[in-house]
Structure 1
Amino acid sequence: MENSDKKKDEAFHLSILVSDPQKQRNEHAKSSSYVTYQISTKTDNKSYHNTYRKHHQGETTGNDSIDIIVVHRRYSDFLLLHNILSQDHPTCIIPPLPDKKVFQYIAGDRFSLSFTQKRCHSLQNFLRRISEHPVLSHSRMLETFLVSGDWDAYRRSLSGTLNGNKDEVSDAFMNAFKTVHNQSEEFVEIKEKSEKLDHNVAKIDKIFNRVVKRQEAISEDYAKFSSNLQELQELVSNDAEEDEALRSKVKFFNEGIAQLSYGLRDLSKFLDYEYIVDLKDMEHYIESVKQTIKLKDQKQIDYEELNDYLTRSINEKNNLVSGYGGGNYFTSKLEELAGINQEAARREKIAKLEGKITSLTSEVDNAKEVADVFESEVFKEVNIFEEIKTKELKASLASLADNQIEFYKKMVDTWTKVEENL
C-alpha cells in the first residue's frame, strides 16, 4: 500500500517518440543485418536525466531542465523489455509488441520502408501505453531501456534471469478445458465487453483494408488518366491560338487529376501505415486483456479444485467416523480374511485424513487469498486498460478525421482553381 501511494505521489511527465528506423549491419556476423529505432524521451523525472548524464557524460547534476534523451534500440531490445515487465508484474496487462512472425519476414522483406514504418508506429504505441500505465511507467527497467548508453552490456548481465513462466503455462494447459464455477458478475461483463470490442475492431480493420485497396486502385486509375491527358496535351498543335487555349485547359485539368491521385495515395498511406496499424495493435491489446483474465481464472480454478478436494476429504472422514464408508466392500472383506483389524485400519485412515484436511485447509486458505488478490489487481488493470483504450480510440479517430478533412480541403482548393482556369 505504501509503494502504491508513493508511486502516485511521484507522478511525472513522460513523453516517448519512436522514429527513424535504420538498417544496420551486424559487425560480428557480416551476413546478418537488423533495424534500429530512435527513441526520444522527454520527461521531468530527475532520475532519468541524472542516469543519462552518468551513462553518457560520467557525471550527474541537479539541473531540472527538460532535455530530450535519445537512444537507439532494435526489436529484440523491445522484446526483452516486454518479457521482464511480464515477469516483474504478473498481474499487469502488459501492452503487446507487434508480432515478429509476419509475412514480411517470410518474404524476406523486413527491411522495406513499408514494414519498418509500420513496425515503428506499433513500437510507438507499445511504449506510449507503458508510459500511461501508473505502475509500468515507474519501472526501473523502463528507465534503463530509455536511458542506458551501454544497453548491450546490460542485456548480457540479464542472461539467464528470465524464467519464462513455465509453471503457469503448464497449469494453464492442464486446466484448458476447465471453467470457473463461481465467476463474479463484473468479470462476466468484462469478458462480454472484450469479446464485443474485439469483434468490432476486427470488423473495422477488415473494412479499412478493403478501403485502402480500393483507394489505391482508384489512385492508379487517376494516375493513368493523368498520363493520357499529358499525351493528349502534347498532341495539340502549337500553331493556332485555339489549340494553345485548349492545351492550357487540358493542362489545368490534368493538374487537378494528378493532385487527386496524389491525395488519394497519401490518404491510403495514412490508413495503411497508421490507422490500420492502430486497429491491429488494439486487437492485440484486447487479446492481452483476455489472456490476463484467463490467468485470473486459473487462480480461481486452482482454489476451487483444492476446495473440492478438501470437501471430499472431510466427507470421507465424517463417513468413517460415523461408521459408514471406509473403502470398497470387497477390499474390506479381503482385509478381514487376511486378519487385518478393521477398527485399527479405520482409525489409521481417519488419522491420515485429519492430517490431509489440516494441510489442505491451509492450502485452500492460501489459494483463496491469492485468487482474491489476483482478481482485485486484474480488475484494476482492466480499468486502466479502459482508460488507455478510450484515449487511444479517440486520438486515432481524431487523426482519421483530420486526414480526411485535410484531403477534402485540398481537393476543394485544387478544383476551385481548376474551375477558374477552365
Structure 2
Amino acid sequence: MPDSTELPRDPASGPDSPRDSTRNPAQDSPVCSHLSILVSDPQKQRADQVKASSSYVTYQISTKIDNRPNPAHRRRQLHIADKSKKPTDIIVVHRRYSDFVLLHTVLTQDHPSCIVPPLPDKKVLQYIAGDRFGHSFTQKRCHSLQNFLRRISEHPVLSQSRMLETFLVSSDWDAYRRTLSGTLVANKEEVSDALMNAFKTVHNQSEEFTEIKEKSEKLDHNVSKIDKIFHRVVKRQEAISDDFGKFSQSLRELQELVSDGSESDKALCAKVKTFNEGISQLSYGLRDVSKYLDYEYIVDLKDMEHYIDNVKQTIKLKDQKQIDYEELNDYLTKSINEKNNLVSGYGGSNYFASKLEELAGINQEVARRDKISKLETKIGSLTTEVENAKEVADAFEREVLKEVNIFEGIKTKELKSSLTALADNQIEFYQKMVDTWSKVEQGL
C-alpha cells in the first residue's frame, strides 16, 4: 500500500482541547487543508543504559502540511509550536508503540460509535520471544502503523480529532501524555453488558445487518484463506530461491574447473558464466518478491483481518444495545399483563398464598389495589426507560451503518491499492527476468 496518505483536516474552529469531539462533521464545510503522513525509520532506543529491558523502538512520523487556499470554505490552521515553519514544511516527530496505543485508546474513548482502526498486535511471537528489535519485526510493524494512520486519516470523524493533530505535530508529546494521566478509564459498563449478553441474541435483527454480518464473515474467511496461501507461497519461493542459489554456487565451481583449459574451454567457461548470471538474478528476484510479500502484502492482509474483527465487535456492541431494549420491552410487557390481570380480577397470588394472607388478617382488595398502584408506577418508569433504550439503540444502529459504509469505502480502496501494488511487483519481476534471460540467450 502507498506509504504517504492525504489527511483531511477540521474545516471549522473548535475548542482548544486536543480531545474535542463535540462537532458534527456532517455540519462542517468540505475540508481544504491536507496532511501527507509517512511512518518510517524504526530505531532502537535505550532509556536506561543499565537495564536492557528498558529499550524500545521509535518510529519517525513525517507530516507535510498543505493548506490549500479556498475562500469558499472556512479553514482551521494546524497549530504549530514553531512559528518559523511554513505551511509546506515537513514536521518530523518520533513516537514509540505505546504512543500509538495512547492515540488509539483516546480515539476509542472519545468516539465510542466509531470503528477505530486496530493497531498491530503487541502479543505476537517475535515480541514474546524477545526478537522485537529485529529488522523483520520492526519493518513489518512500521508498515502496520502506516496502515493504522492512513485509515484514521481517511475517516471523516477520526481525521478531525485534535488528539490526532497533537500526536502528529506536538514537540512536547511527553508533557501532553502526563496531562492525560488518570483521565483514561475503561468502560466497565460496556464490559459487563458484553458478559451479560454473551449468550443472548437479537430477536428482531434487520435484514440489512443480517447481510452485513454475512458479508463480514465471508470477507474475513476469504482474507484469512488468502493470508494462509501467501504464507505458503513465501516459504515455497524462499526454498526455490535457496535452491537456485545452490545451483549458482555449483555453476561457479564448474566455471573454475574449466577456466584454465583450451580456447574451447574458455568459450564454455564464458557461457557458463553468462548462464550463471541469469540463475543468480532469478534467485535474487525471487528473494525480493518473497520479501515484498512477507513485509508488505501479507501484513496488509493481516491488518485487514484485524480491521474486520473491529467491524464485527462494533456490530456486537450494537446488538447489545438492541438486546437491552428488547429485554426492557419484555419486562414492560409482563408488567402490563400482570396489572391487567389484577384489574380484571384474575391476577395476584395463588390460592394458598391468598388463604395465608386472609389468616394473617390482610385485606385482599386493599392488597390488590396496592399491587396495581405499584405496578402502575413501575410501568411508568419502565415506559420511559424503554423509550430511552429504543432511542439509544436506533441512534447507535444509524451510526454503525454509517461506520460500516466508511469501512466499505476504506476496505475497497485498500484492497484495490494492495492488489495493484502486488500486480506491479509481479510485473516488475517478470519484466526483469525477461530482460535478464534475453541477454543470457544472446550470450549463449
* TM-based fold match above 0.5: yes
Q: Give the drift of 1:45.
A: 4.8
Alignment partner of 1:353 is 2:381: no
Task: Please identify, of 40-49 and 240-249, the stretch whose mean Cα deviation from structure 2 is larger.
Answer: 40-49
Q: Secondary structure of 2:199's partner?
A: coil
Q: Which amino acid aligns with 1:282?
A: M
Q: Secondary structure of 2:345's partner?
A: coil
Q: Distance in 2 between matches of 1:93 and 1:239?
A: 72
**Alignment-derived partner of residue 124 in structure 2:** 102
Deviation per CA, 1:170-213, whole angstroms, max 9, x where unpaired? Answer: 10110001011111111010000000000000010011000000
Q: Secondary structure of 1:15's partner?
A: strand
**Alignment-derived partner of residue 263 in structure 2:** 241
Q: 2:104 aligns with which of 51, 60, 82?
A: 82
Query: Is the CA contact (8 Å cut-off) linking 1:48 and 1:147 kept in structure 2?
Result: no
Q: 2:351 aligns with which of 329, 332, 335?
A: 329
Task: Please identify, of 12-21 and 369-378, the stretch whose mean Cα deviation from structure 2 is larger.
Answer: 12-21
Q: Distance in 2 between matches of 1:338 and 1:374?
A: 52
**Alignment-derived partner of residue 79 in structure 2:** 51
Q: Distance in 1 between matches of 2:327 and 2:182?
A: 33
Q: Which amino acid aligns with 1:294?
A: K
Q: Secondary structure of 1:344's partner?
A: helix
Q: Which amino acid aligns with 1:51?
A: H
Q: 1:190 aligns with which of 212, 215, 237?
A: 212
State the aligned residue count.
Answer: 416
**Alignment-derived partner of residue 158 in structure 2:** 136
Q: Give the drift of 1:235.
A: 1.1
Q: Distance in 1 between matches of 2:141 and 2:29?
A: 32
Unaligned runs of 5+ in 1: none
Q: Secondary structure of 1:44's partner?
A: strand
Q: Distance in 2 between matches of 1:298 and 1:60?
A: 51
Q: Distance in 1 between matches of 2:67 and 2:182?
A: 31
Q: Distance in 2 between matches of 1:8 and 1:379?
A: 22
Q: Give the drift of 1:279.
A: 0.3
**Alignment-derived partner of residue 42 in structure 2:** 21
Q: Distance in 2 between matches of 1:157 and 1:145?
A: 14
Q: Which amino acid aligns with 2:79?
A: T
Q: What are the equivalent positions in structure 2 for 1:105-116 lying under 5 Å apart? A: 105-116=127-138
Q: Distance in 2 between matches of 1:336 and 1:90?
A: 55
Residue 333 to residue 12, structure 1, CA distance change in 2 (3 Å): farther
Q: Give the drift of 1:28.
A: 8.0
Task: Please identify, of 229-238 and 412-421, the stretch whose mean Cα deviation from structure 2 is larger.
Answer: 229-238
Query: Is the CA contact (8 Å cut-off) linking 2:25 and 2:156 kept in structure 1?
Result: no
Residue 145 to residue 395, structure 1, CA distance change in 2 (3 Å): same
Q: Quote the sequence identity (%).
A: 78
Q: Distance in 2 between matches of 1:377 and 1:132?
A: 17
Unaligned runs of 5+ in 2: 1-21, 69-74
Q: Distance in 2 between matches of 1:149 and 1:5?
A: 31
Query: Is the CA contact (8 Å cut-off) linking 1:21 and 1:38 kept in structure 2?
Result: yes
Q: Give the drift of 1:42.
A: 2.1
Q: 1:370 aligns with which of 379, 392, 400?
A: 392
**Alignment-derived partner of residue 154 in structure 1:** 176
Q: Distance in 1 between matches of 2:27 and 2:345?
A: 59
Deviation per CA, 1:112-159, whole angstroms, max 9, x where unpaired? Answer: 100000000000000000000000000000000001111111111111
TM-align CA RMSD: 1.7
